[in-house]
């Protein structure tokens, strides 16, 4: 019988973005589960849609998180490797927090919705996505410029 050895330590540039990515995927799974429970509650079969407000909220919740994942996951890894692992964790966590604020806003009843929470979600969501993508592009541009200088300095 082989004994498993769990004493490895990965660098921060991998662990921090992996934490954000796994949190985002867990949120997506949670929203998918929430959508399934609403479908069962309202007796809506799988490919069909409905104009029920509760279903529309759950579907929008799921789709908006699911649509953000292909942007956030690669950009948080690129940002971590090209700029800073610590800042990728901070900015990526703010994106996860924005998705949680969004969920809390839509989990509450319609009369309990709060515009401040909604605006906070939008601000955190878009600013964190733009910071991750923009920072990744900046880090890549600096890396390519330094590579060009290094190769053509002879």
pLDDT of residue 127: 94
pLDDT of residue 48: 75
Q: Which helix (H) or strand (E) holds 77?
A: helix 53-82
Domains of the chain by residue range: 13-45+52-151
- Closest C-alpha to 72, from 101, 106, 97, 96: 96
pLDDT of residue 131: 97
- Closest C-alpha to 86, from 154, 11, 146, 4: 11
pLDDT of residue 62: 86
**3.90.1150.10, 1.20.120.550, 3.30.1370.100, 3.20.19.10: CATH of 13-45+52-151:** 1.20.120.550
Asked whether the beta carbons of 90 and 61 are under 8 A apart, the reply is no
Which pLDDT tens digits describe the chain residue by residue (154 residues)? 678 878 788 899 999 999 999 999 999 999 889 888 888 888 888 777 777 888 888 888 888 888 999 999 999 999 999 999 999 999 999 999 888 877 765 555 554 566 776 777 788 889 999 999 999 999 999 999 999 999 998 6
Q: Give the C-alpha separation, 136 to 88, whole Å.
A: 10
Asked whether the beta carbons of 74 and 127 are under 8 A apart, the reply is no
């Amino acid at each position: 019988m082989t004994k498993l050895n769990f004493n490895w330590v990965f660098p921060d540039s991998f662990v921090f973005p992996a934490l954000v990515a796994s949190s985002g995927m867990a949120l997506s799974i949670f929203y998918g589960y929430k959508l399934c429970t609403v479908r069962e509650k309202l007796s809506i079969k799988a490919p069909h849609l409905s104009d029920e407000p509760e279903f529309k909220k759950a579907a929008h919740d799921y789709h908006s998180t699911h649509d953000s994942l292909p942007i956030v996951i690669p950009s948080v890894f690129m940002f971590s490797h090209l700029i800073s692992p610590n800042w990728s964790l901070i900015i990526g966590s703010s994106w996860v927090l924005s998705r949680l604020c969004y969920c809390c806003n839509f989990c509450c009843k319609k009369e309990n919705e709060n515009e401040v929470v909604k605006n906070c979600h939008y601000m955190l969501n878009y600013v964190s996505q733009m910071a991750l993508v923009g920072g990744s592009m900046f880090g890549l541009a600096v890396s390519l410029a330094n590579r060009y200088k290094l190769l053509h300095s002879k």
